[in-house]
Structure 1
């Protein structure tokens, strides 16, 4: 992007000098953070205050030390001065110039920043200003850096200026090149290329739950991660109290996105899968499709609730005699029954309800004792609470219970399941989830749990006690969540907000959502807005066109995707019977003559054979977890959320059939096709299923 234009050369030289200045200031910030840690350890303060101060100083020092190397700014805003003629004023920032980057850099906390954080309020104009609404910006400048730059000032190779104050508008070549840059390795951040509609989601308020229906290539995952970074920047203390959780569909996906938040200066975020979050036991059993479907059905939540509260027995005793020294206080049976019934009606968590019954029995005794001989001490109250008859009554009327006991009691006992499921699950559904009657009867201690059982256990655990919640949860690929999985997430966001990301067209589980309203209701946010992102920035029009041909057959009401990229290539390659593997090898070899990553995606059962064939042809290929591999052979079941420059989709009919009778084969194929961000080759020996 260098140019013989003297003005451009002069501008580049000044910007490179500014970048060197910023690099020196950042080094001083890192050294200063280390010094503050040492100084803070000698501060005289209370133990708690010193511990908090030390934690904050060490965290700040670690964050600065762990920042990935790279360019320190990607944009600049020149605000207009006071209003002159037809040129609008720059508002509160009149006449100011700000460089925009991933981190605020300053020589002194009280000095004007050398670089402002992309999340700062003033930076919003970088993403939102237009010629029609310049927001006080006279000139918006974008910087072009050499691909893979580690932040050497010489890597600043070009710049573009938009004179918004003059009504000038232009498509950015720098943004286009960055979006279309070859994809090798983990996902990159998009702080330099956020589009206005994406920025609206990123900067949504902490209290707002937002659902993003994002077509392929619209950057919904990146938007969710950048919203997380924005909330951490804007509400650090509120988020710190509850924490922030990123939920992805599988470990491969988490590895793919793992570097985005650290690149934005945020390292203290938990990234996990729902399976990890609810894993009370290892998964050592497997359900058939029917059993899994019943266990993931929302009606099962009520079955579990009934089974749990069936253990509550208000008439567990004729009366209760509570010793108090040489005296005994009698609590009549009808009073005990009334206490238990009142607590049941209040619907507290089960464990809280048990202690509430205890407290009310003690209060009943205390009121009578005080009428007889005056106020009682706290020690007296504790003694009555621990009295053996009181605890014995609770064990009979409101017994302690583990989630495992409740679930095993249902799945191992047809009569108990029939009582709890009456009017909810029919006989076939009940038989589908019952443990086999053959062999020794399994207790909860010796049970082998399936993945769906862990969801049931989490439901019961949530009925016993509310789990610790997060201040915010980002849920990606949310269209694949079952109603019961949504409930598990809702429990962890009871006092926080959610960013829900997904695409109904990419739903591939048997219980995948067909309506966001249904999923949001199970997530406890029925009125959350659904924001559509339909403009693709990465998937080219040739690939989007093929995907849209499938969309009409997927049975979901989502708008067609469109692409801003007119480039891209789509090739349909028929192969002779038995010649598909050879055709794939030839296609991959041709793809390697061009830049970028190559993803060979096939039905799961076909992956080992394809890897062996590529290896025999001298083409090394990694699995989807090997993010730096030039060639990846990936099962269709794990590529959701991943992307490759060149995708070789192998035998679409086999990919579709691998989904079984669930009717989700074309959804899986839709996912596979839209992993391509430059070129798509469809290699097939059988008739195409579209």
Structure 2
């Protein structure tokens, strides 16, 4: 340990001790103040502030801060040491600076954007640009109040070279558990720009595997709540993720950042709630079989593939015409007579519908007209000459009012949707207009499914749009911000509909086209989404640096990306080296023994992976199909207690050793990954097959093994020749 490091370590140790003493002192004082339970509003506000400070200090204490920045603002006599943590806390002993600065504060942006050099640095503050000199940038690791590590990434007064990646590599080398963690201590400059981007923007982020897209989006939510605290609330934000297990996987990040009450959902679950329908539970293997487990590979995808067509905005015009057509013919023909001798002219009903209630959407307009008609009946009933006449008129009026209401269009999204596709009889004009736009194959397949009562995920955006046109946004939460993860699997129609439910086009849309394995429903280019917004309301960022995997894994996966997927956007690795990727062949087997041979190969690989002092917390065995995952799980379960089978129905990722099909691994990451069947029989030469294999390879943080029975795809290049098990 050199003298400079020893001095820095001792300095930080003393500073930490002082910080902890101050936290303890303030906590003791705050806890000594009796909790106010009265009804005085001012005292309630003061008590809420005290309670929040108690919680913040208690949360801060185990790890008060993670970074230090010595910054001398222009006009100041000397630099000030600014300590940056997850929560900002004012000092009661030092008046000119906080005890800890919140990582989201403007000055803290310097900690992320400053990468060295002797030139002046600057940050944007509410009062304008603040310029000055950075003298020191230091990372510190504190766990449970103990200082574990000090690393200077810049020191103006030292001749020692900067080690900007040293701390990052140290943190990336840590093993995974079963939850995604925050990256607040290692946010990089390009990530920080996205996190701090303006609120009212549809931000589209293309990021290679391991670039931190999901984590960046979650940190962006925390930043928006800090920066725009008067304009946004956590209760009016939502995260859309690909499945419920992934939601569980990311569930700890926001609480770690001190943020709660942000809704997290899948799009189908949220849409079903808005539409007040129950989606039929479909078996995972049945649902995905047509695309991921079909013999001979993926069916051909065109713009007339049902998922692609129904996800395009072409259907929006058909829906608008259908709703307008129903609205124009909504008022039934003829006058209304509740009983003989009483008459309400159709011209008056039309006046109510077309003029007085015109600002209302169709379903609400119908409700208003029928309520007005009911009040007119009540007024007319008061003119009855006798009780007997009143009783007779009431009975007739009730029956005729019900008959009249039945003549109006059924403003039900599912009914209109069925009419468009010919699943039920449609009013004149609707079926003809729909058939002019909807391809016959799509119309036929959708009608058949709807007649069986099947509502598919691809049907939800059109149904939501019909619901919105009929009812407006009434009764539905309008969000301040929406995060969409794995957005390459979303359709333009989904985004267009969600834009109706968010203020100011405020989106964070993130994904990776190279991982677009759901190409039958998702986008093939980000321009499909950018086209939905005016240029001033959208921005695009590309994250090419991968922080997840070792250089060896990223270099191996980049070959698949370049030669198999044919993507020009390759991952740039952080300088973190590890074991070489291993490509191992096992003995050819007759069909009857193929599964047993593969099982033996996986057993051997797992045995070798657990040797040499490796202590991996999360290991995944990835197969091409769910059937093969089930077979492997059954074969390994007797040897590995607690072995998980991930089949798409799980709502919680438990860590440890897991077996799952490759297409369900997207979004997750593991210390070590074994691809159990990386041969050409499972992954063909099509770009889609290469994407699947690329997804599997890029789940690995530290170790990647590919097993095969011979005949590798052309885009799989063993780094040092093939090995045999």
Moved more, 421-430 or 303-312: 303-312
TM superposition shift of 1:506: 0.6
Q: Could you report, residue by residue, the CA deviation over 1:230-283 in whole angstroms, capped at 9, with x for unpaired residues?
A: 111112232128611111111121111111111111122222211221123132
Gaps of 5+ in 2: 123-131, 292-304, 377-396, 590-596, 716-725
Tell me how far apart the structure 1 counterparts of residues 121 and 343 of structure 2 sit (CA, whole Å). Answer: 79
Corresponding residue SS for 2:232: helix
Cα distance between partner residues in 2 of 1:166 and 1:226:
33
Q: Which residue of 1 aligns with 2:587?
A: 576
Counterpart of 1:665 in structure 2 is 689
Would you say 1:113 and 2:119 are equivalent positions?
no
Match of 2:82 in 1: 98
Q: Aligned pair 1:427/2:440, yes or no?
A: yes
Q: Deviations over 1:566-609 (max 9, x none)?
A: 52321111122243222222112222232433221112221122
Aligned position for 1:186: 179
Selected match of 2:636 from 595, 608, 614? 614
For residues 619 and 588 of structure 1, do their structure 2 counterparts lie closer, same or farther at Cα, with a shift above 3 Å needed? farther
For the pair 1:599 / 2:620, whether they are aligned, the reply is yes
Q: What is the aligned partner in structure 1 of residue 706 from structure 2? A: 682
1:253 correspondence with 2:246: yes
CA distance 1:319–1:105, shift in 2 (3 Å): same
Q: How does 1:416-495 map to 2 (within 5 A)?
A: 416=426, 418-435=431-448, 447=453, 449-465=455-471, 466=473, 467-495=476-504
Q: Which of 545, 560, 573 is matched with 1:535 structurally?
A: 545
How many Å apart are 1:56 and its aligned residue?
A: 5.4
Three-state SS of the structure 2 residue aligned to 1:532 is strand
TM-score computed with the length of structure 2 as normaliser: 0.76
Residue 199 of structure 1: how far off its partner (Å)? 0.6
Corresponding residue to 2:266 among 273, 276, 281:
273
The one of 603, 627, 640 aligned to 2:666: 640
Give, in angstroms, the shift of residue 195 of structure 1.
Answer: 0.8
Q: In the TM superposition, what is the alpha-carbon distance from 1:464 to its structure 2 partner?
A: 2.3
Please tell me whether the aligned partners of residues 217 and 539 of structure 1 are also in contact (alpha carbons under 8 angstroms). yes
2:218, 2:398 → 1: CA distance? 54
- Residue matched to 1:630: 656
1:656/1:669 contact within 8 Å kept: no
Q: CA shift at 1:498, angstroms?
A: 0.5
Alignment partner of 2:581: what SS?
A: strand
Structure 1: distance between partners of 2:224 and 2:699? 29
Aligned residue number for residue 383 of structure 1: none
Kindly report which structure 2 residues correspond to 1:330-479, keeping only aligned pairs within 5 A, or say none: 333=347, 340=353, 349-354=361-366, 395=405, 399=409, 401-409=411-419, 413=423, 415-416=425-426, 418-435=431-448, 447=453, 449-465=455-471, 466=473, 467-479=476-488
Task: Work out the CA distance in 1 between the residues paired with 2:664 and 2:92.
Answer: 47
Inter-partner Cα distance in structure 2 for 1:93 and 1:421: 73
Distance 1:479 1:391, change over 3 A: farther
Aligned-residue offset at 1:137: 3.8
Q: 1:487-530: CA deviations, max 9, x gaps?
A: 34223224450011101111111122111121244578895111
SS of the equivalent of 1:652 reads coil
* Residues in 2 aligned to 1:93 and 1:330: alpha-carbon distance in whole angstroms: 85
Match of 2:197 in 1: 204
**Partners of 2:528 and 2:509 in 1: how far apart?**
13
The alpha-carbon deviation at position 654 of structure 1 amounts to 7.8
What's the secondary structure of 2:63's corresponding residue?
Answer: coil
Q: How has the CA–CA distance of structure 1 residues 359 and 283 changed in structure 2, closer, same or farther, with 3 Å as cutoff?
A: closer
Evaluate the alpha carbon distance shift between residue 117 and residue 68 of structure 1 in structure 2; reply closer, same or farther with a 3 A threshold: closer
Residues 360-386 of structure 1 show CA distances to partners (whole Å, capped at 9, x for unaligned) of 999x9xxxxxxxxxxxxxxxxxxxxxx
State the partner residue of 1:373.
Answer: none
**Cα shift at 1:220:** 1.1
1:382 equivalent in structure 2 = none
1:126 is displaced (CA, Å) by 0.5
Distance 1:528 1:684, change over 3 A: same
The answer to whether the Cα contact below 8 Å between 2:310 and 2:458 also exists between their aligned partners in 1 is yes
2:111 aligned with 1:126, yes or no? yes
Equivalent position of 2:138 in the other structure: 142
Query: Distance in 2 between the 1:32 and 1:349 partners?
Result: 57
Distance 1:116 1:479, change over 3 A: same
Name the CA distance, whole Å, in 2 between partners of 1:392 and 1:13: 84
TM-score (norm 1): 0.80
Q: How far apart in 2 are the matches of 1:488 and 1:151?
A: 46
Q: 1:61 to 1:525 in 2, by over 3 A?
A: farther
Superposed counterparts of 1:551-562, under 5 Å: 551-552=561-562, 559-562=569-572
- Matched residue pairs, number? 635
- The equivalent position to 1:311 in structure 2, one of 316, 323, 326, is 326
> Displacement, 1:203?
0.5
In structure 2, C-alpha distance between the alignment counterparts of 1:284 and 1:78, rounded to whole Å: 57
The offset of 1:67, in angstroms, is 3.7
In the TM superposition, residue 298 of structure 1 has moved relative to its aligned partner by 3.6
Residue 100 of structure 1 and its aligned partner are, at CA, apart by 0.8
Equivalent-residue separation in structure 1 for 2:701 and 2:6 (angstroms): 33
1:549 aligns with 2:541: no
* 1:71 aligned counterpart, secondary structure: coil
Give the whole-Å Cα distance in 2 for the aligned partners of 1:337 and 1:655.
Answer: 67
**Offset of residue 75 of structure 1:** 0.8
| Partner of residue 606, structure 2 | 588
Question: CA–CA distance in 2 between the matches of 1:29 and 1:420?
Answer: 70
Partner Cα distance (2:18, 2:315) in 1: 62
Task: Tell me how large the CA RMSD over aligned residues is.
Answer: 4.1
2:150 to 158, 175, 180: 158
Contact residue 562 and residue 568 of structure 2 kept, 8 A:
no
CA distance in 1, matches of 2:320, 2:270: 21
Corresponding position of 1:519: 529
Does 2:15 correspond to 1:18?
Answer: yes
Matched, 1:44 2:66: no
User: Could you tell me how far 1:107 is from its partner in structure 2?
Assistant: 4.0
CA contact (8 A) 1:252 1:638 kept: no
Secondary structure class of the residue paired with 1:435: helix
Deviation at 1:684, TM superposition (A): 1.1
Structure 1 counterpart SS, 2:326: coil
SS of residue paired to 2:233: helix
State how far apart, in whole Å, the 2-side matches of 1:556 and 1:102 are: 41
Instruction: For residues 192-224 of structure 1, give each alpha carbon's deviation from its aligned partner in whole angstroms, at most 9, with x where no partner exists.
Output: 111111110011122222111001121111111
Give the superposition deviation at 1:18: 2.5
CA distance in 1, matches of 2:139, 2:561: 38
Q: Tell me, yes or no, if the aligned pair for 2:152 and 2:162 is still in contact at 8 Å.
A: no
User: Paired residue for 1:84?
Assistant: none
Cα separation, 2, equivalents of 1:536 and 1:681: 19
**1: CA distance, partners of 2:550 / 2:47:** 47
Contact 2:211 2:547 in 1 (8 A): yes
Contact 1:77 1:139 in 2 (8 A): yes
